[in-house]
């Protein structure tokens, strides 16, 4: 079966790191994998060409492929644009219209970088956790919202709202993932102070009991969870949580691993007719305008995002393992882009040299 990819490299370092992913895809094509790749514009690049950060034609193209690979959007050049055409709006439209409700953010600590973490080596070496953040609902979207006047003062309102089906579908994503990993899910909410947290807890329990009783399920209040992620992160396998807590907890977990330049992500939606989920893969980092155009961006986050595509869109787990192992090897050899720091045992390389070394490995 052909595997259709749409590449939206975007702005800043987006095209630089994506160029290394293209090399990796070409390599896989030479091994006989039937990837069909198309390219299009998103973010500031699309605004420059078309006056909008995502055209309808691009949106349609994204709906018609198996996976979208995105680089990064935005940059200082676009800071003063009207809110409706800001580069980030292009990405938000993609997520919203593709209904990508499960945001997967792994926090994995490669051994060669374990001393680079903000924590002690024995706390993070070998760390491999996956945070599943609900991405399309919760307090960032709930109505009513806004700033209004009440009497003689202003009031800011956001509504933390979840429906049963919104919770159930992201819970299923987490349980499915756990089955392919260490078979453990920890659900985090704050049911002690939030009604939606009570519903979250109960629905996760129900889905577990009815469909995933083989998976080990635990619950933690999200504040205690934040503490545990820093205190003893290796106790977790898959963590499932809502949009707001997932935003915070995944950034928190990210700091365990070293650099922003190492962190991939996947955003998945419902299965399409061919059984593959709607999917968008992107590095966690942004367009990094401070280093754009200098050839020194770390391409690993973007390459690992493609490894996630291999695993979650195309069921090519062995190929994903191989790509991740190549990254591990290259780091073990001591190659480092500038963001990964330096010592007497390492060698500083640029974006392309890092990509080539991974390809060789
Ligand atoms: P955005 O709003 O697009 O997320 P940001 O300013 O919040 O942008 P980044 O663009 O990710 O965040 O940049 C944050 C810092 O991390 C910058 O100093 C940037 O140079 C650095 N950085 C981000 N990604 C990489 C990378 N792949 N390689 C090296 N450094 C990076
Ligand atoms: Mg940012």
The arithmetic mean of pLDDT across residues 11-26, rounded, is 98
For residue 175, CA distances in Å to 164, 239, 241, 332 come to 16, 10, 12, 32
Q: Residue 342: pLDDT band by 50, 70, 90 thresholds? A: confident
pLDDT of residue 234: 96
> Any idea which residue has 């190549």 for tokens?
326
Indicate which atom in ligand 1 lies nearest the CA of residue 297.
28
The pLDDT score that the predictor gives to residue 239 is 98
Pick the residue whose CA is nearest to atom 20 on ligand 1: 288
More confident residue, 121 or 358: 358
On the question of a cis peptide bond just before residue 144, with omega within 30 degrees of 0, the verdict is: yes
The confidence score (pLDDT) of residue 134 equals 97
pLDDT at 258: 75
pLDDT at 260 over 90: no
Q: Which of 215, 293, 241 is nearest to 133 (CA)?
A: 241
pLDDT digits (tens, 9 = 90+) for 39-87: 999 999 999 999 999 999 999 999 999 999 999 999 999 999 998 899 9
**Residue nearest to ligand 1 atom 15, measured at CA:** 288
Q: Of 330, 331, 308, 333, nearest to 319 (Cα)?
A: 308
Asked whether residue 118 carries a pLDDT value surpassing 90, the answer given is no
pLDDT for 170-202, tens place per residue?
A: 999 999 999 999 999 999 999 999 999 999 999
What is the 227 CA–ligand 2 centroid distance (Å)?
A: 23
**Averaged over 309-325, what is the pLDDT?**
97
CB within 8 A of 344, min separation 6: which ones? none
Distance of CA 215 to CAs 246, 249, 325, Å?
21, 22, 27
Q: How far is CA 29 from CA 19, 116, 216, 276, 311, in A?
A: 15, 34, 38, 20, 16
Q: What angle do CA 338, 339, 345 make, to 5 degrees?
A: 55
Q: What is the pLDDT of residues 288-306, one digit of tens each?
A: 999 999 999 999 999 999 9
Query: What value does the mean pLDDT of the chain take?
Result: 96
Given a cut of 90, whether residue 120 has pLDDT beyond it is no
Q: Give yes or no for a contact between 255 and 118, defined as CB atoms under 8 angstroms apart.
A: yes
SS3 content of the chain, % helix, strand, coil (to 5): 45, 25, 30
76 is in an annotated binding site: yes
Rounded to an integer, the average pLDDT of 142-155 is: 95
Any known ligand binding at 88? yes
Taking the C-alpha atoms of residue 127 and residue 258, their distance in angstroms, rounded to an integer, is 12
pLDDT digits (tens, 9 = 90+) for 275-292: 999 999 999 999 999 999
Q: How many helices (H) and strands (E) does the chain have?
A: 12, 14
pTM score of the predicted model: 0.93
pLDDT cut 70: percent of the chain above it: 100
How do residues 219-245 score in pLDDT, each as one tens digit? Answer: 999 999 999 999 999 999 999 999 999
264 pocket-lining for ligand 1 (C-beta < 6 Å): no
């Amino acid at each position: 079966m052909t595997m259709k990819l749409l590449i939206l490299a975007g702005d800043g370092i987006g095209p630089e790191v994506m160029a290394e992913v293209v090399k990796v895809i070409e390599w896989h094509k030479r091994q006989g994998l039937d990837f069909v790749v198309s390219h299009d514009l998103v973010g500031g690049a699309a605004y420059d060409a078309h006056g909008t950060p995502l055209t309808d034609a691009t949106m349609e193209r994204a709906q018609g492929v198996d996976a979208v690979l995105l680089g990064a959007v935005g940059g200082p050049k676009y800071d003063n644009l009207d809110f409706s055409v800001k580069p980030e709006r292009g990405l938000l439209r993609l997520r919203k219209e593709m209904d990508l409700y499960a945001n997967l953010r792994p926090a994995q600590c490669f051994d060669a970088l374990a001393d680079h973490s903000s924590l002690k080596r024995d706390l993070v070496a070998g760390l491999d956790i996956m945070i599943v953040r609900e991405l399309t609902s919760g307090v960032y979207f709930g109505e009513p919202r806004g700033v209004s006047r009440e009497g003689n003062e202003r009031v800011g309102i956001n509504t933390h709202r979840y429906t049963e089906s919104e919770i159930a579908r992201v819970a299923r994503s987490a349980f499915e993932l756990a089955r392919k990993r260490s078979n453990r899910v920890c659900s985090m909410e704050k049911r002690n102070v939030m009604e939606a947290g009570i519903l979250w807890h109960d629905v996760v329990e129900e889905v577990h009991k009815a469909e995933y009783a083989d998976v080990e399920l635990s619950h933690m209040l999200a504040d205690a969870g934040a503490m545990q992620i820093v205190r003893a992160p290796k106790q977790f396998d898959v963590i499932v949580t809502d949009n707001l807590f997932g935003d915070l907890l995944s950034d928190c977990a990210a700091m365990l691993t070293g650099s922003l330049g190492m962190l991939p992500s996947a955003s998945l939606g419902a299965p399409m007719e061919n059984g593959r989920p709607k999917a968008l893969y992107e590095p966690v980092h942004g367009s990094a305008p401070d280093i754009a155009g200098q050839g020194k961006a770390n391409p690993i986050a973007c390459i690992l995002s493609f490894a996630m595509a291999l695993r979650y869109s195309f069921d090519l787990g062995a190929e994903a393992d191989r790509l991740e192992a190549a990254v591990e090897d290259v780091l073990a050899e001591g190659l480092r882009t500038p963001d990964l720091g330096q010592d007497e045992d390492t060698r500083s390389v640029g974006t392309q040299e890092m990509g080539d070394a991974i390809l060789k490995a």
